[in-house]
Copies of this chain bind each other. A is one copy, B any other.
Amino acid sequence: MSNQVVIGVIGAGRIGKIHAENIAYFMPQAKLKAIADVNLTPQIEAWAKGLGVQTVTKDPALLFADKEIQAIVICSSTDTHSTFVVEAAKAGKHVFCEKPVDTTIEKVKAALDAVKKANVKLQVGFNRRFDHNFKRVRELVESGAVGSPQIVKISSRDPAPPPVSYVAVSGGIFLDMMIHDFDMARFQAGSEVVEVYAQGAVLVDEGIGKAGDVDTALVTLKFANGAIGVIDNSRKAVYGYDQRVEVFGSKGSAQAENDTPSTVKLSTEAGVMGDKPLYFFLERYKEAFIAEMRAFVAAIAEGKAVPVTGEDGLQDLYVALAAKKSLAERRAVKLSEIA
């Protein structure tokens, strides 16, 4: 179609491939024209050709220079995110950027400024907002069915810890893992976090402790609207990816339970056995990844606001940095100390 949104993707790692395939297969309103990856391999080239991509390159500059390309999807390594956001904005492209935009406030602000100046859209990849379960909770909150939110509870546990080498450069559990939950908490509460208190422990892997991080964490939140919240994270839930949210309010409570591969229960002498949760984020958030990209494409096509903004990314970063500070200083930290 002549009015397709033309897109270029930077970074063809795990998440880049997901976005590229989703655009190619599921979005008739979009056209995937180009893919850039600094570590371009023949495998990536073959895969990209299979998707019908015209430009496959090591050089992202080719994408910024391509007049036809309207939007850039940034899936490269985290340290390159903010630079590419700035370059894409300067080139007049809309931007979808994987989370986090950056791990420092200055760079995120610089990226947001560039976006603002260029008057382009920036959507940050907080895919969980598009999950069928969490979106349903939010709808119930927004509809007034739970009344005014009073307590927001999130459990978010990975099936297995990443390598210690990854942890060492990840920015730590709050910036790397719990930032998703901070975003979810803000999304569900419909309010900004004003204070956090963090607890952490090394219970899963001593190596993580030696790398200066914790693998088990519990953060309490205070929201501007008076609600309170709590998030727990573990790097290792042996039963799989545990992703639950509850919003309790003056008129009721909305609770999202885990998704499972099937609804089957086996009753035997040993008990009644059901499925474990879907194993990891690729399965659990498969549809959410599609939905977030559809929303981005639609925002461009229809000239609407994106559903997760750069400002959201910045606020989530503030909360994560506050949590980090709280754990380090063993005290509650106000967001105003950070922002």
Contacts and interface: CB of A to CB of B under 8 A. Distances in A.
Interface of A: 25-26, 28, 50, 132-133, 135-137, 140, 145-148, 150-151, 153, 155, 157, 197, 199, 201, 203-204, 216, 218, 220, 222, 226-230, 232, 234, 236-239, 242, 248, 250-277, 330-332
Q: A28, A222, A250, A266 — which one has the most chain B CB atoms within 10 A of its CB? A: A266
A273 B272 contact: yes
B250 A267 contact: no
B269 A258 contact: no
A271 B264 CA distance: 11
A155 to B, nearest CB: 8
A141 to B, nearest CB: 10
Given A150-B201, A157-B248, A276 B267 contact: yes
Contact of A136 (B133, B216, B261): B261
B218 A228 contact: yes
B266 A232 contact: no
A271 B271 CA distance: 11
A229 to B, nearest CB: 8
A199 B216 contact: no
Given A239-B267, A266-B145, A199 B218 contact: no
Given A136-B262, A252-B266, A255-B267, A199 B226 contact: no
A218 B216 contact: no
Contact of A151 (B50, B135, B234): B234
Contacts of A222: 199
